[in-house]
C-alpha cells in the first residue's frame, strides 16, 4: 500500500504550502540518487516527488484530502471507501466511476456509451472517451559546478515521470548559464493522459562557487597576489584563464586593486559577444622582515613621496 503523502514529506495535514515546499526541498537533496547511494534512495526519492506533486497543487491536495489515494489516481477504494450502498458513492462523480471501472471491459463501455450490449441501441452514445490531456511539467533543482556553467558541458539528471517511473537523462548545459536560470527539456515531464503528450522537464540551475574565479554577468575575474617589489618594478605573472593560461604583464607602479583586462577571454555565450577576463591585483606585504630588509625598506620609504600628500586637504 502506498504511504501517506503527508507522512512521506514529514509534515502535518495542516501544513502550509511553504512548509510543504521546504520539506520537499530538504528531502529531495538528501535522497537525490546523484548524492545518496543507498539501495532504496531511488524509491524514496520517487515517493517524495509524487507526494510533492500532489500536495503542492491546491486542487490535487483537496482531492487527496477528501478521497485519499483515489483522489491522486491510485486505488479508488483506499482508506476504507468501499462502494457498498449509496453512501459509498455519495462523493464520487460520474467521471470518477468511469475511470474506476474503465478497465473492466463491458462495464466500462456501459458507463461510456450507455449501452451494455454493445449494439447501436440502448439509448445511444452518452458521451465519448475522455479527451487526451497533456502531462504536467516537472520542476527540478539541479546543482552544477562553476566551470560547466561557464563553458558548457553535459549533466546527467535523474527524474520521475510518474509513480515508479524513474530515469536518468543527459542534458547539455549551454555556456553562460547563471544560478537561478532554467532549462526546458521537452517531453520529459509527467506522462500524458489518454494518449496526450508528456509534459516538460524544467531544470532550475544552482551554480556552485569556484575557488579562484568569480563572475559578473559574462565577465570573469581572478585575484592575483604580487609582492611590493613586483608592484614597484613590474613583472610578468602566469595566470589561469577559463581555457588555458596567459603570461600577464604587470606594469611598474601598479596599485593594489588595479584591474587588468584580457579582452574576450571571459564567458563566451552560445550567441553574442564574449565577456572579458580581469586580473585583480592584490599587493601582499611581507609579514616578517629581518633587520637588514626592514632597514632597507625604511631607507627607501624616506625617499618616497607620501601617497597621502594633499589627499585630505
Domains of the chain: total = 3
Assigned domain for 118 exists: no
CATH code of the domain in which 160 resides: 2.60.260.20
Determine, yes or no, domain membership for 56: yes
Based on the fold, state whether residues 19 and 84 are members of the same structural domain.
yes
Task: Classify burial at 90, counting beta carbons within 10 Å of its beta carbon; exposed 0-12, middle 13-18, buried 19 or more.
Answer: exposed
Closest CA to 136 of 91, 90, 68, 197: 197
Same domain, 159 and 85: no
* 70 DSSP assignment: G
Does 247 share its domain with 171? no
List C-alpha distances in Å: 231 to 236, 253, 289: 11, 6, 18
Q: Which domain holds residue 285?
A: 213-303
Q: Quick one: pLDDT band at residue 73, thresholds 50, 70, 90?
A: very low
Question: What is the tens place of the pLDDT at every residue in 277-291?
Answer: 999 999 999 989 999
Task: Indicate whether 122 belongs to any domain.
Answer: no
198 and 218 co-located in one domain = no
Kindly state the cell numbers that stand for 129: 472517451
Q: Are residues 164 and 233 part of one domain?
A: no
What's the confidence (pLDDT) of residue 256? Answer: 94
- Span 116-163, pLDDT tens digits: 444 444 444 445 566 888 888 989 899 999 999 999 999 888 876 556
Mean pLDDT, the chain, rounded, equals: 79
76 phi/psi in degrees, rounded to 5: -65, -15
Q: Examine the domain organization and report whether 227 and 168 are in the same domain.
A: no
Q: Could you tell me if 166 and 217 lie in one domain? A: no
Among 190, 207, 224, identify where a domain stops.
Answer: 207
**Is residue 238 situated within a structural domain?**
yes
Amino acid at each position: 500500500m502506498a504511504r501517506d503523502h503527508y507522512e512521506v514529506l514529514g509534515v502535518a495535514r495542516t501544513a502550509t504550502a511553504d512548509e510543504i515546499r521546504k520539506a520537499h526541498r530538504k528531502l529531495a537533496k538528501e535522497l537525490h540518487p546523484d548524492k545518496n547511494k543507498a539501495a532504496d534512495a531511488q524509491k524514496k526519492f520517487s515517493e517524495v516527488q509524487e507526494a510533492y506533486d500532489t500536495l503542492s497543487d491546491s486542487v490535487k491536495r483537496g482531492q487527496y484530502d477528501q478521497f485519499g489515494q483515489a483522489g491522486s489516481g491510485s486505488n479508488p477504494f483506499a482508506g476504507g471507501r468501499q462502494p457498498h450502498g449509496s453512501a459509498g458513492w455519495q462523493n464520487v462523480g460520474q467521471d470518477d466511476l468511469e475511470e474506476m471501472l474503465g478497465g473492466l471491459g463491458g462495464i466500462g463501455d456501459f458507463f461510456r456509451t450507455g449501452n451494455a450490449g454493445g449494439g447501436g441501441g440502448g439509448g445511444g452514445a452518452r458521451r465519448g472517451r475522455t479527451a487526451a490531456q497533456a502531462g504536467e511539467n516537472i520542476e527540478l533543482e539541479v546543482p552544477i559546478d562553476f566551470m560547466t556553467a561557464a563553458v558548457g558541458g553535459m549533466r546527467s539528471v535523474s527524474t520521475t515521470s510518474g509513480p515508479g517511473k524513474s530515469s536518468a537523462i543527459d542534458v547539455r548545459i549551454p555556456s553562460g548559464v547563471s544560478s537561478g536560470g532554467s532549462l526546458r527539456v521537452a517531453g520529459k515531464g509527467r506522462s500524458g493522459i489518454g494518449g496526450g503528450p508528456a509534459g516538460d522537464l524544467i531544470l532550475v540551475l544552482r551554480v556552485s562557487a569556484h575557488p579562484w574565479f568569480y563572475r559578473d554577468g559574462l565577465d570573469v575575474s581572478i585575484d592575483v597576489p604580487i609582492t611590493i617589489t613586483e608592484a614597484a618594478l613590474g613583472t610578468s605573472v602566469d595566470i589561469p584563464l577559463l581555457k588555458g593560461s596567459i603570461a600577464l604583464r604587470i606594469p611598474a607602479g601598479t596599485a593594489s586593486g588595479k584591474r587588468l583586462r584580457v579582452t574576450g577571454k571571459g564567458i563566451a555565450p552560445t550567441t553574442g559577444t564574449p565577456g572579458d577576463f580581469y586580473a585583480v591585483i592584490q599587493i601582499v606585504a611581507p609579514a616578517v622582515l629581518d633587520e637588514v630588509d626592514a632597514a632597507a625598506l625604511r631607507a627607501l620609504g624616506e625617499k618616497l613621496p607620501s601617497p597621502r600628500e594633499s589627499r585630505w586637504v
